[in-house]
């Protein structure tokens, strides 16, 4: 077994701390003007459809558990349906889906 080859992910305590910190940042981001603006626009990042505020959630393009951060470039508005579906797709597949929709 090769122990040197590790995926680029965070492990153990470091990971827990990272997620905790970024969740806190996400909470602050939710209060920001930037986020409220996004909700007003109401466009889901994945399916590009328009939704009312209560049908939208915050989503991390790169999940916190994979080392993603709560930054404006990693956080998107997403409808609940896409949020549920996302679990079954890799980001690449979702990109493809988005492209097909725009054709
Ligand atoms: Zn959607």
12-102 in CATH: which number? 1.10.30.50
Distance (Å) from CA 36 to ligand 1 centroid: 18
Token pair, residue 14, equals 């470091």
Checking if the pLDDT of 22 tops 90, the result is yes
Using one digit for the tens of pLDDT, what is the confidence trace for 88-103? 666 677 677 777 776 6
Quote the pTM value.
0.72
Q: Where are the domains of the chain?
A: 12-102
Using one digit for the tens of pLDDT, what is the confidence trace for 46-85? 999 999 999 999 999 999 988 999 999 999 999 999 988 8
Distance (Å) from CA 80 to ligand 1 centroid: 7
Q: Which residues are CB-contacts of 41 (< 8 A; sequence separation ≥ 6)?
A: 77
Residue 28: per-residue pLDDT: 97
More reliable by pLDDT, 87 or 80: 80
Distance (Å) from CA 69 to ligand 1 centroid: 21
Query: From CA 6, how far away is CA 89, in angstroms rounded?
Result: 23
């Amino acid at each position: 077994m090769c122990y040197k080859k590790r995926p680029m992910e965070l492990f153990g305590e470091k990971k827990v701390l990272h997620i905790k910190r970024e969740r806190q940042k996400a909470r602050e981001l939710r209060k920001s003007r930037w986020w409220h603006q996004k909700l007003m626009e109401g466009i889901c990042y994945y399916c590009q459809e328009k939704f009312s505020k209560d049908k939208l959630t915050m989503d991390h393009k790169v999940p916190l558990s994979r080392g993603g951060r709560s930054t404006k470039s990693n956080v998107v508005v997403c409808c609940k349906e896409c949020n549920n579906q996302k679990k079954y797709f890799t980001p690449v597949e979702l990109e493809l889906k988005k492209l097909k929709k725009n054709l």
